[in-house]
């Protein structure tokens, strides 16, 4: 029986962490296609998700430098979601305080639909 060396274990872990980011990106792509998210919001969500993955990888691998290859995976996947992600990220972080603006003229946000439906039922009943 051979014991894998530290470098190959680290590489395997990075691959698994990278796959988590890719899987999340695919799920966000589906939400964009369904009209549930804008590309800008999906890219921001993926960046925040990947921050957690990056932090965890750095802790497990012993340094944030060891986790740097995940940045390449993130940049590729974020660019697939939102081609203007760098500009959008800069605008988001330059806003003080950072926040999300939901334009209710285009419809009730998905999270509120159940509440709105129950209010309608209460009025009818």
The predicted-structure confidence for 57-111, as pLDDT tens digits, reads as follows 999 989 889 899 999 999 999 999 999 999 988 888 888 777 777 766 665 444 4
pLDDT higher for 7 or 34?
34
pLDDT band, residue 122 (cuts 50/70/90):
very low
- Per-residue pLDDT at 112: 42
Choose among 44, 47, 54, 51: nearest CA to 92: 44
Rounded distance, CA 74 to CA 25, Å?
A: 9
SS3 14: helix
pLDDT higher for 8 or 80?
80
- Per-residue pLDDT at 11: 82
- Per-residue pLDDT at 96: 77
SS3 103: coil
pLDDT at 2 over 70: no
- Token readout for 21 is 């980011």
The predicted-structure confidence for 17-47, as pLDDT tens digits, reads as follows 999 999 999 999 999 999 999 999 999 999 9
Residue 89's CB is within 10 A of a number of other CB atoms, namely: 16
- Per-residue pLDDT at 116: 42
- Per-residue pLDDT at 8: 67
């Amino acid at each position: 029986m051979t014991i894998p060396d530290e470098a190959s274990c680290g590489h395997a872990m990075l691959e698994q962490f990278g796959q988590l980011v890719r899987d999340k990106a695919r799920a966000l792509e589906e939400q964009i296609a369904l009209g549930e998210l804008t590309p800008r919001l999906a890219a921001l969500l993926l960046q925040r998700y990947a921050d957690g993955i990056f932090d965890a990888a750095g802790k497990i691998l012993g340094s944030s430098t060891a986790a740097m290859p995940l940045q390449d995976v993130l940049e590729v996947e974020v660019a697939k979601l939102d081609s203007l992600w760098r500009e959008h990220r800069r605008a988001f972080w330059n806003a003080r305080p950072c926040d999300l603006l939901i334009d209710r003229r285009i419809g009730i946000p998905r999270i509120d639909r159940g509440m709105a439906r129950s209010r309608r039922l209460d009025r009818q009943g």
